Structure 1
Amino acid sequence: MQADLSPVIAATAQWLTRAYPASGGALASALCEVQARQAVTVAAWLRYPTRTDAALLGLAGPGGSARLDWVTGADAAAHDDEDDAHAWRTWVDEVVASWAACLLTDPELAGRAVAALAEGSHSTGTPAEFRRLLTPDDGDRSAAALLRHPDLLAPVAGLHHSQLLDRLPPGRTPIA
């Protein structure tokens, strides 16, 4: 059984950066990808908090990107000319993408989510691990202007926002 979330994290971050690409060149793309990966990592660790949860995901599969593509109006067929396009899209987790979108557009919620990780088995949840998610600088914001735009991400974030709120302990102080 696979208890590793890295395929889901990689595929879901890739979906986010393709749906909401960076503004600029190679550096902007890298900064955008880092922010997406940090948000997706936090979301995945919250969604699958134990090795057993991750192993069950490996057995059942995450569901793929079809609904996300439909909600955002993305044309998945445009990317299907790549040999492995369909394969990576099957590892996209809709709930993780939705939660990551929530975290990217709401700094307070991102802080609460990282604080909640401190109680889990994946990480200590230290702020340094998720600096670009929690405290993006001007370069980060500029590179990920689409990825952090609340109106653009609203259709994806709204899919499972209430489940994320249910997962987080109430009244947690965000890590700054």
Structure 2
Amino acid sequence: MHADLSPVIAATAQWLTRAFPAAGGALASALCEVQARQAVTVAAWLRYPTAMDAALLGMAGPGGSGRLDWVTGADAALGDDTDAHAWRTWVDEVVASWAACLLTDPELAARAVTALADGSHSTGSHAEFRRLTAPDDSDRKAAALLRHPDLLAPVAGLHQDQLLDRLNPGRTLIA
């Protein structure tokens, strides 16, 4: 069975950095990619907390970037050549949505990293996700689009409630 989340993490992080590219040169691109990868890793580990969950994902597949492309308008840029990007089939919409939520809210990101202690992927160490949970000025500047709440809102809103349910099981909503 396929219990490795790395194809989903790589593809989903790539989708995020293409949809919300870095502002600047090579260093900015690298900083943006690190932040996207950290957010996607936390989101994927929360979404698929056990080896069995990851194995089931490997068998069923993550679903691809179709809806995400439509929501962000990227489907128009793809044109008819969608086959040229086979990696897009490994994009997980829920993971991308959760990652978008984490990128726009460092406090939520810190709670998510803490919640990783419940899963089998990580000890939930905040240090390994510093660029996600405590971005400095260079991180924020490099990933200005990737962390912009208004730009990420359509993606974050797709599955934000599921993330909040995962981080706050049994919570009561006040209307």
TM-score of the superposed pair, with normalisation by structure 1: 0.92
**Matched residue, 1:56:** 56
* CA distance in 1: counterparts of 2:80 and 2:42, whole angstroms: 27
Structure 1 residues 31 and 164, CA gap change in structure 2 (3 angstroms): same
Please list, as runs of the form range in 1=range in 2, the aligned pairs for 1:18-37 lying within 5 A after superposition.
18-37=18-37
**Matched residue, 2:9:** 9
Q: Which runs of 5+ in 1 are unaligned?
A: 171-176
**Matched residue, 2:78:** 77
**Bigger shift: 70-79 or 7-16?**
70-79
* CA distance in 2: counterparts of 1:111 and 1:23, whole angstroms: 25
Count of residue pairs the alignment pairs up: 168
**Matched residue, 2:173:** none
**Matched residue, 1:174:** none
Please list, as runs of the form range in 1=range in 2, the aligned pairs for 1:1-176 lying within 5 A after superposition.
1-75=1-75, 77=78, 80=81, 84-85=84-85, 87-169=86-168
- Confirm or deny: 8 A CA contact 1:116 1:169 kept in the other structure: no
Secondary structure of 2:146's counterpart equals: coil
Which aligned segments of 4 or more residues in structure 1 are displaced greater than 4 angstroms? none
Structure 1 residues 18 and 61, CA gap change in structure 2 (3 angstroms): same
Q: Which runs of 5+ in 2 are unaligned?
A: 170-175
Structure 1 residues 159 and 122, CA gap change in structure 2 (3 angstroms): same
- Confirm or deny: 8 A CA contact 1:8 1:62 kept in the other structure: yes
* CA distance in 2: counterparts of 1:7 and 1:89, whole angstroms: 10
Percent of aligned positions that are identical? 85
Deviation at 1:169, TM superposition (A): 3.3
Deviation at 1:80, TM superposition (A): 3.8
Deviation at 1:3, TM superposition (A): 0.2
- Confirm or deny: 8 A CA contact 1:71 1:156 kept in the other structure: yes
- Confirm or deny: 8 A CA contact 1:99 1:160 kept in the other structure: yes
**Bigger shift: 72-81 or 111-120?**
72-81
Counterpart of 2:3 in structure 1: which amino acid?
Answer: A
Counterpart of 1:153 in structure 2: which amino acid?
Answer: L
Counterpart of 1:165 in structure 2: which amino acid?
Answer: L
* CA distance in 1: counterparts of 2:156 and 2:53, whole angstroms: 22
* CA distance in 2: counterparts of 1:62 and 1:73, whole angstroms: 20
Counterpart of 1:95 in structure 2: which amino acid?
Answer: V
RMSD: 1.5
* CA distance in 2: counterparts of 1:79 and 1:167, whole angstroms: 37
* CA distance in 2: counterparts of 1:22 and 1:78, whole angstroms: 23
* CA distance in 2: counterparts of 1:79 and 1:29, whole angstroms: 27
Deviation at 1:40, TM superposition (A): 0.1
Deviation at 1:136, TM superposition (A): 0.5
* CA distance in 1: counterparts of 2:136 and 2:81, whole angstroms: 35
